[in-house]
Amino acid sequence: VPLGGGMTFRQPNCDDPETEQVAGVAMNYINDNLFQSYKVILNQIDKVKVWNRRPNGEVYELELDTLETTCHALDPTPVENCTVRQVAEHAVEGDCDVQVLKQNGQFTVLTARCDSNPDSAEDVRKVCPNCPLLAQTNDTSVVVAVEKALAAFNAQSNGSYYQLVETSRGQVVPVPPYTYVEFVVAATDCVAKEVTDPAVCKLLAEKQYGFCKGTHIQRLGGEDVKVSCTMFQTQPPAAGSKAGGPGPVVDVAAPTSSPANPAPAAVV
Amino acid sequence: KPAKPGMAGAAGPLVRPCPGRIRHFKV
């Protein structure tokens, strides 16, 4: 309530360097505090208001449009190096409301709230009539594909047994019929070759996450499963932030990377 | 100064402070 004219705000342009700087601070905060789904990148600044704050400082209120990248939230790759998920892959947009305090030249994110939505089927169809749409992560085909892909990964693991942490996305392709999935796994205290009851396996205190892509083809004569996983550097037990984490490491079971292509992936 | 009916509008680009530019594509 504007008592005595104390509550005043200004509205700089959305593309002002000042506004973009604050949006950048907010985007870093959002990605640093994202532990599931995919990293996001700024697409458009929708609105900005700057409130005077007593006794000093200013509070920026921003509405930001974001787009999903193909880097998982746990992937240590800097978001600047991540690819924006294209419309043909069924892009996902986000709307974020953020409040950032600027005081003595320092920025502090006060609040950040984001909601995300996949692009409409019509928009995807306009760009790519035959591209598969995003399926629900609890879709039966997606669930089966993740289970099969994880089982295939564990069958070839020479170390830990890996548990499913998150099904990140799934697409059911009609022709030729197959299901594509992306999911997150984490190492447990069980040895993959010796596990008899996966239910008793517990995640390691030092979390080691991996991001997997898999396909499952169900045929009359059998099935075909493909999976490849990128294992990330272990995270200390009390890790509350992903900042400062080193890059992905090569799994001991992985083939040696060639010097020309030092891919950090552990691929099975 | 308000324009009178029939008068030409002010020349120059329309200023749209917000929303800002689209960096990738609109969903």
Q: Is A203's pLDDT higher than 50?
A: yes
CB–CB contact B23 A12 (8 Å): no
Contact A19 B27 (CB under 8 A): no
B16: nearest CA in chain A?
A13
Weakest-pLDDT range from A91-95, A200-204, A216-220:
A216-220
HEC-encoded secondary structure of chain A: CCHHHCCCEECCCCCCHHHHHHHHHHHHHHHHCCCCCEEEEEEEEEEEEEEECCCCCEEEEEEEEEEEEEEECCCCCCHHHCCECCHHHCCEEEEEEEEEEEECCEEEEEEEEEEEEECCHHHHHHHCCCCCCECCCCCHHHHHHHHHHHHHHHHCCCCEEEEEEEEEEEEEECCCCEEEEEEEEEEEEEECCCCCCHHHCCECCCECEEEEEEEEEEECCEEEEEEEEEECCCECCCCCCCCCCCCCCCCCCCCCCECCECCCCECC
Query: Is A66's Cβ below 8 Å from some Cβ in B?
Result: no
Among chain B, residues having any CB pair with chain A shorter than 8 Å are 17-27
What chain B residue is nearest to A118 in terms of C-alpha separation?
B27
pLDDT in tens, A92-132: 999 999 999 999 999 999 999 999 999 999 999 999 998 99
Which tens digits make up the pLDDT trace of A22-53? Answer: 999 999 999 999 999 999 999 999 999 999 99
Nearest CA in chain B to A69: B24
What is the interface pTM, i.e. ipTM, of the complex? 0.81
